[in-house]
Amino acid sequence: MNRGIFPPELHNCMPKKFNFVNPIIYTCIYMIKQITEKVSWVGKVDWELVRFHGDEYSTHKGSSYNSYLIRDEKVALIDTVWLPYDREFVSNLKQNVNLHDIDYIIMQHNEIDHSGALMELLDEIPDTPIYCTKKGEQIIRGHYHKDWNFVNVKTGDQLCLGQSTLTFIEAPMLHWPDTMFTYMDEGHILFSNDGFGQHFASESLYNSDVNQEELMYEAEKYYANILCPFSQMVSRKIQQILSMNLPIDLICPSHGIIWKDNPSQIVEKYVAWSDAYQENQITIVYDTMWQSTRLMAQAIADGIREADSEIKVKLMNITHDDKNDVLTECFHSSAVLVGSPTINNGYSFAIAGILEMMQGLKFKKKKAASFGSYGWSGEAVKKINAHLENCGFELLNDGMTCLWVPEADTLDKCREFGRNIVESIHSPIN
């Protein structure tokens, strides 16, 4: 079997308990879940996932790859699953539907976590049309190098399945250029792909059946780390969908929980998150070698709390705290303080990494300052300032340095630095 450009080890990265030879195992561990009379969930819950996008994203709660099967007079499959689970996915489908009864495959977005089972599936039903955007076709061809039966669609195009009709809505850069949503009139269902999703594994399909605080945190983390750079496009797309006056009873993303109980709540969150979101919080991100910069960070935090007890202060050591959790805290902060000792005339490797990620996420209307200890040169603070400006932050001051280990008077100055930060963040953004 020609598996395209993907090496065989990707098909061998499943836990040993999964046996591709015996399809009966799939029936036991992997079942269809009915959503409506016509719509079923046929995806994969990945409890063991801890890292995603290579090592770029932490998934403390696992994830799911949600695929949906619509059975009307015509049968449509919306999205597939991640590549390592392609054979499991197709075997499961066979237990529940004759593959040759699938009339349409709808690919809303074509990263490997969504399109990964296409090769395996189309080996079985090679002529089945794939409905996707024009950019989606380009990406599928780029991934799999196959001349499949592509049907390009754009916003407003419809596909009648019999009693129900699907309407396609292009959503470029939410979060890839090929992304689209699909609206099903019967059941008032919005299949939103990565929009409104979370990396969140659960036995249940629905938002009402899980811990609400955990769910909303994972939804915000997903937005902050993946969709934040495209906030303007998120805002425009939501306004466009709202202007279409579509009744929506279910939002079915391609990762995590389906929004069934008050689905508008996640739409409202996206409206807020896409508008230069911030809370009454300051996040202090630091690295330290011999604890001097840590002592500075703690004293600065004390000064902030002394000046305003209502401000939430998050103190985060970037070498110990998860980088995506750090970025999530920065996302809903009004100001971010970054500290590092001077190392080789610069700042630490870990601080360099988190600053580079901040720059890519394009946070809006946030303020920032820097601090750090040094021994004989002291360039870190100046260089951090330059990077913070490149990230789009407004600098509150020139930063604060400490020669060697801070003594009591220096820690007093750090607390004063913190108090001044509070005063500065209340001044208007330039």
Residues 214 and 65 in one domain: yes
**Which of 377, 328, 380, 394 lies closest to 351 in space, CA to CA?**
380
Residues 99 and 196 in one domain: yes
Residues 170 and 215 in one domain: yes
- State which residues form the domain around 318: 281-425
Residues 250 and 340 in one domain: no
Token pair, residue 368, equals 């920032």
Catalytic residue (choose from 109, 114, 143, 332): 109
Instruction: Indicate if 320 belongs to the active site.
Output: no
Residues 250 and 303 in one domain: no
What integer pLDDT is reported at residue 4 of this predicted model?
A: 42
Bridge partners (DSSP) of residue 206 are 258
Residues 149 and 289 in one domain: no
**1 lies in some domain:** no
**Which of 354, 358, 408, 398 lies closest to 378 in space, CA to CA?**
398
Residues 163 and 291 in one domain: no
What integer pLDDT is reported at residue 26 of this predicted model?
A: 35
Q: Which residues touch 75 (CB under 8 Å, ≥6 apart)? A: 69, 97, 101, 102, 103, 104, 161
Domain termination site, one of 226, 242, 273: 273
Quote the crossing angle between the two packed helices 212-222 and 264-273, to the nearest 10°. 40
At which residue do the structure tokens 């600065």 appear? 300
Residues 193 and 312 in one domain: no
**62 lies in some domain:** yes
Peptide bond into 175 cis (omega under 30): yes
Residue 172 belongs to a domain with what CATH number? 3.60.15.10
**2 lies in some domain:** no
Residues 381 and 264 in one domain: no
Residues 267 and 291 in one domain: no
Instruction: Indicate if 194 belongs to the active site.
Output: yes
Catalytic residue (choose from 86, 113, 220, 329): 113
Residues 208 and 334 in one domain: no
Catalytic residue (choose from 255, 277, 374, 387): 255
- Alpha carbon distance 211, 196 (integer Å): 17
**Which of 94, 123, 112, 149 lies closest to 11 in space, CA to CA?**
112
- Alpha carbon distance 251, 206 (integer Å): 10
Burial state string for 96-117 with b = 16 or more CB within 10 A and e = fewer than 16: ebeeeebbbbbbbbbbbbbbbb
Domain termination site, one of 273, 292, 311: 273
Instruction: Indicate if 103 belongs to the active site.
Output: no
Stretches in the chain below the pLDDT threshold 70: 1-31, 427-430
Catalytic residue (choose from 26, 114, 144, 175): 175
Q: Which residues touch 356 (CB under 8 Å, ≥6 apart)? A: none
Residues 56 and 127 in one domain: yes
Tell me, yes or no, if the pTM score tops 0.85. yes
Q: Which residues touch 346 (CB under 8 Å, ≥6 apart)? A: 352, 379, 380, 383
Instruction: Indicate if 127 belongs to the active site.
Output: no
Domain termination site, one of 273, 291, 308: 273
Catalytic residue (choose from 85, 183, 222, 286): 222
Residue 355 belongs to a domain with what CATH number? 3.40.50.360
- Number of domains making up the chain: 2
Token pair, residue 405, equals 């280990």
For residue 420, give Cα distances in angstroms to 96, 314, 342, 399, 423. Answer: 64, 17, 23, 11, 5
- Alpha carbon distance 153, 166 (integer Å): 11
**Which of 106, 261, 277 lies closest to 193 in space, CA to CA?**
106
Catalytic residue (choose from 48, 53, 100, 407): 53
Instruction: Indicate if 175 belongs to the active site.
Output: yes
**Which of 267, 243, 263 lies closest to 251 in space, CA to CA?**
263
Catalytic residue (choose from 72, 137, 194, 308): 194
**Which of 380, 278, 295 lies closest to 338 in space, CA to CA?**
380
* CA angle 61–64–67, rounded 5-degree value: 165
Cβ atoms of 314 and 333 within 8 Å: the answer is yes
Instruction: Indicate if 188 belongs to the active site.
Output: no
